[in-house]
Structure 1
């Protein structure tokens, strides 16, 4: 139960932070460009790197901090941070083929899956 509470609280805060960035982005130039998404993905990726680097020193409570910040807060802020971490881990292991396959398939297949979802939803719910 504690695990779910940590993740849920962090996730809620992360989602609220993402919403605030999206609201602020409405006032930035070039509002048609997805600057809010790019911003949260870059900030989230950097934050995940900082978190994992910090937790590598095995500080007390590291598991709870990883759950709250890594899975919860950054997961709610952006799922791109987890993807970025997994890509870096593959690159560090020199798993070049896996990294290319994972990176390419994640982006391309996610876009295709979203398109499929839109097609299905339009067919199901179009009046």
Structure 2
């Protein structure tokens, strides 16, 4: 029962950090790139890789930090909405950059996180 509470607490903290990063999107709105969501998703990918490499995916620590904190931090729904918004605005350059960088660098970040944990 305490593990569930800790996952919930960590998730809440991750969501607060994501909210703070979302303010970057407002600051950098003039560049047309959703920087806040991009950064939390890349950082979250790095951390998930790190936590997996450090704890394995069955440990209590992994569940608290990866499932909880990173689950609250990263956001697939906002990412997809922002992709749609870029397409709706016919901003194909930023759409392609955001899509390719998020998936490409997100995957690389997981690998880096795994390497850092070892």
Q: Normalised by the size of structure 2, how large is the TM-score?
A: 0.57
Specify the SS of the correspondent of 1:33. Answer: coil
User: Quick one: distance in 1 between partners of 2:24 and 2:46?
Assistant: 20
- Computing the radius of gyration over CA atoms, which structure comes out larger, 1 or 2? 1
User: Quick one: distance in 2 between partners of 1:47 and 1:2?
Assistant: 23
Report if the CA contact (8 A) 2:10-2:69 is conserved.
yes
User: Quick one: distance in 2 between partners of 1:39 and 1:51?
Assistant: 18
* Structure with the largest fraction of helix: 2
**Which 4+ residue blocks in structure 1 deviate beyond 6 angstroms?**
none
Aligned residue runs from structure 1 range 1-127, under 5 A: 1-28=1-28, 30-56=30-56, 63-79=59-75
RMSD after superposition: 2.8
Q: Paired residues, what number? A: 80
Structure 2 unpaired stretches of 5+: 85-118
Structure 1 unpaired stretches of 5+: 81-106, 115-127
Report if the CA contact (8 A) 2:25-2:33 is conserved.
no
